[in-house]
Amino acid sequence: MVVAAAKSELSLHERVFAAVQSLRSALDHKVVTSLAVREQHANITTYLPNEPADAVVFAECTQDVQTVVRTCAEHEVPVIPWGAGTSLEGHVNAPLGGICIDLSRMNRILEVNTADLDCVIEPGVTRKRLNEELRDQGLFFPIDPGADASLGGMASTRASGTNAVRYGTMKDNVLSLKVVTATGEVLTTATRARKSSAGYDLTRLFVGAEGTLGIITELTLKLYGIPEAISAAVCPFPSVEAACNTVIATIQSGIPVARIELLDEMQVRASNAYARLDLAETPTLFLEFHGTKASVHEQADRFGEIAAEFGGGPSVFAVKPEERSKLWQARHDAYWSVLPLRPGAKAVATDVCVPISRLADCVMETKRDIEDMGLIAPIVGHVGDGNFHTTLMVDVDDPEDLAKAKHYMKRLVERALAMGGTCTGEHGIGQGKMKYMAPEHGEATLDAMRAIKQALDPKNILNPGKIVAI
């Protein structure tokens, strides 16, 4: 009791110092405290301030993660997991200081079970590298958020992306996880079986928890066979409303499109300049069809008929791999392409998701807000599942400009919630959207989330200050 009392009287700064010294003894060269490295491992992708941890530990195995977590638990110091740093809502910030665990060196592909269509990997494996390794075996992992994110980070934020309309999100494609808990113990959430009714679904509890309940050190993922035929298409429309209504009709008709992405006219203009495309600068859908040659042809024909009903088309098809790659790389580079629209401003990306039937209403009302407020905010979206993004160009050093941007984002979320949607379809909560959790879920639901957090992390050391306040 005397030791415990003495420790509780130490300041956080003193506890952090003691934790860093202990970690240096245990992990030596894996512990880095330089300011440049610490700032690199905090938020760098949006308007939220950069709040670095006090040290970064480059973990190389599950045992390293256990050592860090046990040390942090002993000294009651925060621990923040880091994958590739591509998240957009301040997930990797350390508002209370503490220790950042960089998992990028845990990048081994441990198993590829071709017959079972699954693989076992470490969290630092990125989606592009995984697919490069799988290609020769005729397999691929479909979740594609655009950035070359780490798969551990993608699971932690319940990532989605361009293929989600057909293949689902991370929650649909993670079979099992190995997780280091707040006490430094290791648990495995499930087996490799495709379904189970044995107990609580812990896998989906940790998928989307943003590192607040445990730190993922191993993932078992579903894989898919590379389709026999793949065809991409670009279809222009006279208005955003016509494009959205085409999406709604396409999904409701049951066409199994693999990708269906919206770019408004401002985004098309930016992408043309950045990616050297020559698209008509009008609202446009990017699509991709997967299947046999016959089914791909049938899907494209059926889509073309629907698009024509709303004044869209004609579609331009890209069948060659290099043509498809150029097209989708342009879509993935949307964030970078808009920067020249307002030199010196910062791109602030935000997203919402609504039921597919309300997509056109939500996008059109959002467009009106952008025009009425005089904002530069191109719209892009994974509209096949009702999810769309706007990329606001904001002078974050101008309080008035930043206030206007925040007001716009608040209206966007309120609109989505009023339509039965969510404040974020795939970016996650982090710090940036914590204020919307109560309006979306209600206090009873938040209390349940807090109870889970407190049960699994009673000292509140795992990525504190994210998702729910304790």
**Per-residue model confidence (pLDDT) at position 8:** 61
Residue 6's pLDDT is 52
Residues of the chain with pLDDT under 50: 1-5
DSSP state string for 296-361: HHHHHHHHHHHHHHTT----EEE-SHHHHHHHHHHHHTHHHHTGGGSTTPEEEEEEEE--GGGHHH
Q: Same CATH topology for 2-104 and 109-225?
A: no
Of the candidate CATH numbers 3.40.50.2000, 3.30.465.10, 1.10.3720.10, 3.30.750.200, the domain formed by 109-225 belongs to 3.30.465.10
Closest-CA residue to 165 (of 244, 243, 257, 285): 257
* CATH class label, 2-104: alpha beta
Helices 293-309 and 240-252: crossing angle in degrees, nearest 10, is 130
- Measured at the CA of 255, the angle between CA 250 and CA 257, to 5 degrees, comes to 90
3-class SS of residue 394:
strand
Distances (CA, A) of 175 to 15, 111, 144: 38, 14, 18
3-class SS at 123? coil
Whole-number Cα distances in Å, 286 to 206, 257, 331, 339, 385: 33, 11, 8, 21, 14
The answer to whether the CB of 316 falls within 8 A of the CB of 233 is yes
Predicted TM-score (pTM) above 0.75: yes
Surface-to-core class of residue 213, CB atoms within 10 Å of its CB (0-12 exposed, 13-18 middle, 19+ buried): buried
| CATH code at 342-418 | 3.30.70.2740
CA nearest neighbour of 196 among 211, 176, 213, 169: 176
Whether the ω angle into residue 378 lies within 30 degrees of 0, i.e. cis, is no
List the domain boundaries for the chain: 2-104, 109-225, 229-335, 342-418, 433-470
Report the CATH fold assignment for 229-335: Alpha-Beta Plaits (3.30.70)
- Tell me whether strands 79-82 and 99-102 are parallel, antiparallel or unpaired: parallel
Tokens read off for 166:
């057909």
Contact call for residues 333 and 347 (beta carbons, < 8 A): no
The strand pairing partners of 111, in sequence order, are 120
Distance between CA 330 and CA 322 in Å, rounded?
12
Please state whether beta strands 379-382 and 259-263 pair in parallel, antiparallel, or not at all (unpaired).
antiparallel
Q: Cα–Cα distance between 390 and 376 in angstroms, integer?
A: 9
Q: Which amino acid is at 427?
A: H
